[in-house]
């Protein structure tokens, strides 16, 4: 079974600064996907960024980038130039690349509540 | 249309009531999901439908009954719920059940309160 650990229940950052959210995972799979999802106070969960484990290059999406360390099973999210709208719960998630007959599951971490202060 | 819609937004029900939650998507997605989310916790998977057939039931109590009438619509029928079932119920969809289509699109959720 896979596990995802987010060791920072809460974090805060000043507007325009940079913050890094940590995530570690445990799996015996070699191929998998990793995700960061954002859930603002309005509740709708949206995908922030995705990383395929077979890709060595770290994924980036505008102000969001990841530091993917496969050997260390670490997948941190860096948010640059933080904005007030980045205030949200951030969930790290894992999915096997190997398809199971029953379907694909996301395994979520416990989440990190990020607050961006003006 | 890249949206998953859910109705109602809020629902209050007694333990003897029967109610239904509705989820709809028009993205042509063939996998749909129900999650339960307690406050400040991650979503917990309840059910997965692939091509309108139930493919995953995470040992959910029978008082929750899912239904997928067509490829765009997903219902969750509720009956004889307990107060501990109060939570945010999220619907999601993905292009297909394969991990190749791994991005899940979430709806805004239904906030359920059981009295």
The CA distance from B31 to the nearest CA of chain A, in Å, is 9
Burial A16-28 (b: 16+ CB within 10 A, else e): eeebebbbbbebe
pLDDT at residue A43 in the model = 72
Which residues of B, range 86-105, sit inside 8 Å of A by Cβ? 88, 90, 92, 94, 97-99, 102-104
pLDDT at residue B77 in the model = 98
Report chain A residues whose CB lies below 8 A from the CB of B40. 89, 111, 113
Q: pLDDT tens, A40-98?
A: 987 789 999 999 999 989 999 999 999 999 999 999 999 999 999 999 999 999 998 87
pLDDT at residue A15 in the model = 98
Torsion of CA B52, B55, B59, B60, to 10 degrees: -10
Q: pLDDT tens, B10-69?
A: 999 998 889 999 999 999 999 999 999 999 999 999 999 999 999 999 999 999 999 999
Report chain A residues whose CB lies below 8 A from the CB of B38. none
pLDDT at residue B1 in the model = 60
Cβ-proximal residues to B31 (8 Å cutoff; 6+ apart), any chain: A103, A104, B48, B49, B50, B51, B93, B94, B95, B96, B97, B101
pLDDT at residue A102 in the model = 62
């Amino acid at each position: 079974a896979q596990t995802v650990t987010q060791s920072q229940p809460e974090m805060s950052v000043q507007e325009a600064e940079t913050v890094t959210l940590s995530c570690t995972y445990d799996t015996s799979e070699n191929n998998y996907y990793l995700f960061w999802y954002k859930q603002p106070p309005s509740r709708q969960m949206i995908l922030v960024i995705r990383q395929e484990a077979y890709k060595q290059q770290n994924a980036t999406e505008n102000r969001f980038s990841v530091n993917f360390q496969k050997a260390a099973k670490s997948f941190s999210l860096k948010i640059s130039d933080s904005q007030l709208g980045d205030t949200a719960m951030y969930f790290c998630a894992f999915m096997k690349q190997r398809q199971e007959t029953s379907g694909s599951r996301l395994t979520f971490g416990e989440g990190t509540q990020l607050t961006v202060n003006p | 249309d890249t949206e998953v819609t859910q109705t109602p937004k809020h629902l209050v029900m007694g333990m003897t009531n029967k109610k239904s939650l509705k989820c709809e998507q028009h993205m042509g997605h063939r996998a749909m999901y129900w999650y339960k989310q307690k406050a400040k916790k991650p979503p917990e998977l309840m059910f997965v439908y692939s091509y309108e057939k139930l493919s995953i039931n995470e040992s959910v109590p029978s008082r929750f009954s899912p239904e997928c009438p067509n490829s765009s619509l997903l219902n969750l029928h509720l009956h004889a719920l307990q107060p501990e079932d109060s939570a945010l119920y999220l619907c999601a969809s993905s292009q297909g059940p394969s991990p190749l289509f791994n991005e899940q699109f979430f709806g805004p959720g239904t906030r359920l309160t059981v009295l």
